[in-house]
Every structure is written in structure tokens, then in C-alpha cells.
């Protein structure tokens, strides 16, 4: 007979959240991920054919992936669109509006 682990026995509910888990939970509540993803998605590479699939937009684990993502934003001038999406989100939620001054 195999011994049950503490996680299976329901002990997991008594575990204290880590600082990282608390931070990520707060960010999920504050940041309009769907609006930001919608701005970027039309320009993000689609997995086609054979070869390595691109990393999901919501998670980018290494520096190379983040660098390629930054270049994607720059090449398609998405910074302004993301800034506008955040400004709209803030206004809809009764927060102070961001001044939109573009160079």
C-alpha cells in the first residue's frame, strides 16, 4: 500500500502563500491582461508547420524570448496601443487618467 502525501490528504489548504504567489495574484487583479493581449495577438507569431513553437504570449521564461518580444513591440509600434489600452482601463475603473503625450 502506498502512503498518501500531505497534499492529497487535504493538508494543502493550510499552506501559507509565498510572496511570489501573493504578488502574482495581486497583478492578476490589477492588470487588464485580456486588453493587453488583444493588442499584441495579431502581431504575435502563430505556430505553423514543423519546428519549434513560439512561447505563449502570457509567459516568457528567458531573456532571449523577452528580447524578441520587445523587438516585436517596437517593429509594430505597439507601445502606443498598449499605453492607450491601460489608459482606457484606468478611466473605466475610476482611476486617474494618464496624460497621452506622444513624441
Question: Do the Cβ atoms of 78 and 86 come closer than 8 Å?
Answer: no
pLDDT in tens, 3-30: 666 556 667 777 888 999 999 899 888 8
pLDDT in tens, 70-85: 898 999 999 888 888 8
Is the pLDDT assigned to residue 45 strictly greater than 80?
A: no
Q: How far is CA 36 from CA 2, 48, 63, 84, 85, in A?
A: 47, 23, 21, 10, 7
Overall average pLDDT of the 28-54 stretch: 81
Residue 11 has what DSSP assignment?
Answer: G
Please tell me the predicted confidence (pLDDT) of residue 4. Answer: 65
pLDDT in tens, 86-97: 888 888 888 766
Please tell me the predicted confidence (pLDDT) of residue 3. Answer: 67
Residue ranges per structural domain of the chain: 17-43+61-103
pTM score, whole prediction: 0.56
Amino acid at each position: 500500500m502506498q502512503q498518501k502525501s500531505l497534499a492529497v490528504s487535504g493538508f494543502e489548504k493550510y499552506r501559507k502563500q509565498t510572496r511570489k504567489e501573493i504578488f502574482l495574484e495581486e497583478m492578476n487583479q490589477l492588470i487588464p491582461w485580456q486588453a493587453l493581449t488583444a493588442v499584441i495577438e495579431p502581431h504575435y507569431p502563430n505556430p505553423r508547420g514543423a519546428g519549434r513553437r513560439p512561447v505563449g504570449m502570457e509567459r516568457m521564461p528567458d531573456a532571449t524570448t523577452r528580447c524578441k518580444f520587445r523587438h516585436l513591440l517596437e517593429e509594430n509600434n505597439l507601445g502606443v496601443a498598449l499605453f492607450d489600452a491601460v489608459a482606457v482601463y484606468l478611466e473605466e475603473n475610476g482611476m486617474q487618467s494618464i496624460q497621452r503625450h506622444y513624441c
